[in-house]
């Protein structure tokens, strides 16, 4: 298996070289179809030369990092398996406690800790990169605090996954995937319910809008959609980023429409109202529930396929992998690789559905505000603030973009016929 690990790393380096070559030597991110030159989507019409240069540079680097890191987790977990480190974690856990729960807790901690330490320098590089391009404003202390919060949240969720899944495998080796999916339904809904009030406040402070004049305008807009006032929140993101954003989170009485304070400070009132109308659309059209339903449907098929691959891999290579049985906790890295790979493979489908919902929200927002100019300006400012690529490569769009590209959004709005109120 050491030989396997070497070939694994060799293959990854070849892949990495091809990725870098494609984005640096072949792909031209500055290319815009001639038909769109001079339009609202042409970055030359709303960006200066320095902003254009930074956007092209930053976009290329971000694309490279994404395509390098996506399989890196797979390589990491497969290496941990192939060199016997996962089996070693299991031995440490079994020698530390005779109780199954604590054995799993100890094993998951070691797996999480080693992964965290290996990935921390990479995360730090991306943080420094974002800071060097003026996107991140976070201090090292704030960044490190978020990293530690991520670690412990990931640890808790991974431990819950390990406890539930391996118990189900022990009870039913053939249909554990289905029972795991059944359990995931209430868990997913519960997680969405508590996220705005428990998880999100761990990272940032949330409070009602400070600008009372703007608050009145937003509440008037929200009332047209029958949204209660308490669903509009502001979050202090300026201590972490210069980017702009707004989003909808949570379900039921805990659902919230959230605006970053950077959005409020850098956009005019009419631009903020368009952004708010877009987020209101998600609430009115129940896109969160549609997203949950789509996730559960995809995960049903994904878990079925994962179970087939997992069961076959263990039964075929259990000696080589140093795994004692299907419900051996040491096989957790293999399960994570399979789930991660299938999630990545399904991303074109899930991203496409997400882009459809976002486009639907754009249509709702422009019909609600009747202000095309504000809509165009808001998207242009979002592009500048995030150094976002207007027309990314197709492979980037399909694998990364949960929203329509800025080219698609700006051209759509520019050509959209708004029926003015009489």
Tens digits of residue pLDDT in 375-391: 999 999 999 999 999 99
CA dist 285 and 84 (Å) reads 50
Mean pLDDT for the stretch of residues 204-223: 85
CA dist 325 and 322 (Å) reads 9
Mean pLDDT for the stretch of residues 181-208: 90
Contact 334, 77 (CB under 8 A): yes
Mean pLDDT for the stretch of residues 49-60: 92
Question: In this predicted structure, what is the pLDDT of residue 160?
Answer: 95
Contact 104, 162 (CB under 8 A): yes
Helix, strand, coil shares of the chain as percentages rounded to 5?
75, 5, 20
Whether residue 49 has pLDDT greater than 60: yes
CA dist 288 and 251 (Å) reads 7
The sign of the dihedral angle between the CA atoms of 163, 148, 204, 65 is negative
Contact 231, 255 (CB under 8 A): yes
The sign of the dihedral angle between the CA atoms of 351, 353, 355, 357 is negative
Specify the range with the lowest mean pLDDT, choosing from 109-113, 152-156, 392-396. 392-396
As to burial, measured by CB atoms within 10 angstroms (0-12 exposed, 13-18 middle, 19+ buried), residue 171 is: exposed
Ranges of H-type helices in 195-268? 212-224, 261-266
Listing from the earlier edge strand, what are the strands of the sheet with 206-207?
206-207, 232-235, 256-260, 246-249
Contact 270, 371 (CB under 8 A): yes
Point out the annotated binding site for Zn(2+). Answer: 278, 282, 358
Residue 337 φ/ψ, nearest 5 degrees: -65, -45
Please, what is the average pLDDT of the chain? 90
Question: In this predicted structure, what is the pLDDT of residue 422?
Answer: 41
β-pairing verdict for 206-207 and 232-235? antiparallel
**Banded model confidence at residue 1, pLDDT cuts 50, 70, 90:** low
Whether residue 52 has pLDDT greater than 80: yes
Question: In this predicted structure, what is the pLDDT of residue 196?
Answer: 86
C-alpha distances (whole Å) from 338 to each of 168, 218, 302, 331 are 17, 45, 10, 11
CA dist 42 and 48 (Å) reads 12
Q: What is the pLDDT of residues 310-348, one digit of tens each?
A: 999 888 877 777 787 888 999 999 999 999 999 999 999
Question: In this predicted structure, what is the pLDDT of residue 387?
Answer: 93
Point out the annotated binding site. Answer: 278, 282, 358
Query: Could you give the 3-state DSSP secondary structure of residue 13?
Result: helix
- Residues with catalytic roles: 279, 362
Whether residue 229 has pLDDT greater than 80: no
Question: In this predicted structure, what is the pLDDT of residue 30?
Answer: 66
Question: In this predicted structure, what is the pLDDT of residue 218?
Answer: 85
């Amino acid at each position: 298996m050491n030989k396997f690990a070497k070939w694994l790393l060799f293959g990854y380096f070849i892949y990495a070289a091809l990725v870098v070559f494609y984005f640096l030597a072949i792909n031209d991110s500055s290319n815009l179809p001639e038909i769109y030159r001079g339009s609202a989507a042409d970055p030359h019409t709303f960006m200066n030369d320095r902003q254009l240069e930074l956007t092209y540079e930053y976009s290329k680097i971000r694309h490279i990092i994404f395509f390098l890191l996506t399989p890196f987790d797979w390589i990491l977990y497969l290496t941990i398996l192939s060199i016997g480190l996962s089996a070693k974690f299991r031995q440490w856990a079994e020698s530390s406690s005779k109780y199954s729960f604590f054995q799993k807790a100890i094993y998951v901690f070691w797996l999480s800790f080693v992964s965290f330490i290996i990935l921390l320098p990479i995360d730090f590089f991306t943080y420094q990169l974002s800071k060097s391009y003026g996107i991140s404003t976070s201090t090292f202390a704030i960044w490190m605090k978020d990293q530690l919060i991520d670690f412990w949240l990931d640890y808790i969720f991974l431990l819950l996954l390990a406890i539930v899944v391996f118990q189900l495998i022990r009870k039913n080796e053939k249909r554990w995937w289905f029972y795991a999916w059944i359990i995931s339904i209430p868990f997913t809904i519960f997680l969405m319910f508590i996220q705005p009030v428990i998880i999100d406040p761990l990272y940032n402070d949330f409070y009602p809008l400070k600008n009372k004049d703007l608050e009145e305008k937003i509440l008037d807009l929200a009332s047209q959609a029958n949204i209660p006032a308490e669903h509009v929140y502001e979050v202090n993101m300026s201590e972490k980023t210069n980017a702009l954003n707004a989003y909808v989170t949570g379900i039921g009485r805990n659902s919230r429409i959230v605006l970053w304070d950077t959005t409020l400070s850098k956009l005019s009132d009419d631009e903020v109202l368009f952004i708010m109308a877009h987020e209101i659309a998600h609430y009115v059209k129940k896109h969160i529930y549609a997203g949950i339903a789509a996730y559960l449907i995809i995960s049903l098929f994904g878990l079925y396929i994962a179970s087939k691959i997992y069961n076959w891999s263990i039964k075929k290579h259990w000696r080589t992998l140093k795994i004692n049985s299907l419900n051996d906790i040491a096989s957790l890295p293999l399960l994570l690789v399979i789930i991660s790979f299938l999630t990545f493979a399904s991303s074109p489908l899930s991203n496409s559905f997400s882009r459809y919902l976002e486009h639907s929200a754009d249509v709702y927002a422009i019909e609600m505000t009747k202000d095309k100019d504000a809509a165009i300006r808001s998207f242009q400012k979002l592009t500048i603030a995030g150094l976002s690529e207007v027309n990314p490569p197709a492979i980037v769009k399909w694998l990364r973009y949960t929203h329509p590209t800025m080219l698609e959004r700006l051209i759509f709005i520019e050509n959209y016929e708004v029926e003015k109120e009489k």
